[in-house]
Structure 1
Amino acid sequence: MQLFAAFPDEARLWIFAASRSLSPTETQTLLASLQPFLASWQAHGLPVHGQAAMLHQRFLLLAGYVPNGEISGCSIDAATRAVNAAGQALGITWLSPLVIFYRDAEGTVQHATRAQFRRLIAAGQVTAATPVFDLSLTTVGELRRGAFEKPAGQSWHARVFSLTPQP
């Protein structure tokens, strides 16, 4: 199943990362609580086609598209407020996009500060082959092209953390 199948590649994308894994019930409640906002979301008086999805019980993805329009400023702020309110109602803390998300040796999604991530690399617990997540994606097309999760050696993490790039 492709996420946001009805959206063009240029549709905007925002990724919110939870501090912990959400249960299936929490995920369902979170997505349901965002529906009223998504149904009424507007940008410069135009309706925004919006949709939310959850990946790996940690990442809330919010996509938005305005045919012949643009999502900016106040409409982005409104989306962020809606996500924050929905999370707060469920006791979910959204982490800074500066936090690094990766899969540990068992495949579980973990997070670390940049300093902690450097220590994990030094200890050999994170390598260029370790799957990492890129929370900086801004379009649905990037998501479709597989830019969200990839080996650290094939992402910006290789450059920032001096990991040997993977072919």
Structure 2
Amino acid sequence: MYIPFDQLPPQARIWVYQASRPLTEAEQAEVSPVLERFATEWSSHGKGLQSSATLLHGRFLVLANNEDATAASGCSIDASVRFVRELEQRLGLSFMDRTQLAFQREGEVELVSMPELKSKVAAGDIDKNTLYFDTLITTYGDLQQAWPRPAGNSWLSRYF
């Protein structure tokens, strides 16, 4: 069962996938109904999930499920990964590359590769207050309250 994204409970589980490039406005318009259809049809062992899906900042695909209603099973999570892979093929981009980190700089999303991170920190381009889009967050409440969050308040704190 589809739930509008802004009506999810704070404890809803989320999965965040970061696109390797920004989606164009045309791609976003094309994908929006596909996301809603997936969330409507997403199920666990034949039982519909209370789920939602959206694109944020033209770059982040977020799938969500209200686990208090029905928990996502391994099979339903596998189905979501297949769905994301299909979107990758359709759009000609990657949502699965975890070697790129996304920061908010001057109102824009900037990707920094893991190998570049130390040099960017050493040069002062990234510091503990630089806003970071942590794709490891797991609840809708965290997304609403602390996303993006200062890099120093994430797993990146060890670099400062």
TM range (shorter): 0.7 to 0.9
Do the aligned partners of 2:54 and 2:62 also contact (CA within 8 Å) in 1?
yes
Give, in whole Å, the separation in 2 of the partners of 1:154 and 1:139. Answer: 16
Q: What amino acid sits opposite 2:130 in the alignment? A: T
Question: SS of the counterpart of 1:117?
Answer: helix
Aligned partner of 1:120 in structure 2 is: 120
Question: SS of the counterpart of 1:135?
Answer: coil
Q: What amino acid sits opposite 2:153 in the alignment? A: Q
Deviation at 1:99, TM superposition (A): 2.6
1:50-90 CA deviation, whole Å, 9 max, x = no partner?
A: 21111111111111125543112010010111122023112
Do the aligned partners of 1:33 and 1:86 also contact (CA within 8 Å) in 2?
no
Alignment of 1:79-98 (within 5 A): 79-98=80-99
Deviation at 1:34, TM superposition (A): 2.8
Aligned partner of 2:150 in structure 1 is: 151
Q: What amino acid sits opposite 1:127 in the alignment? A: D
Unaligned runs of 5+ residues in structure 1 are none
Extract structure 1 runs of 4+ deviating beyond 4 A: none
Give, in whole Å, the separation in 2 of the partners of 1:151 and 1:6. Answer: 26
Residues 1:68 and 1:53: Cα distance change in structure 2 (over 3 Å): closer
Q: State how many pairs are aligned.
A: 157
Which shifted more, 93-102 or 80-89? 93-102
Do the aligned partners of 1:100 and 1:113 also contact (CA within 8 Å) in 2?
yes
Q: What amino acid sits opposite 1:11 in the alignment? A: A
Do the aligned partners of 1:30 and 1:87 also contact (CA within 8 Å) in 2?
no
Do the aligned partners of 2:84 and 2:95 also contact (CA within 8 Å) in 1?
no
Alignment of 1:14-163 (within 5 A): 14-104=15-105, 106-146=106-146, 148-159=147-158, 161=159, 163=160
Unaligned runs of 5+ residues in structure 2 are none
Residues 1:55 and 1:68: Cα distance change in structure 2 (over 3 Å): closer
1:1-45 CA deviation, whole Å, 9 max, x = no partner?
A: xx8232222211010100111111111212222333222111122
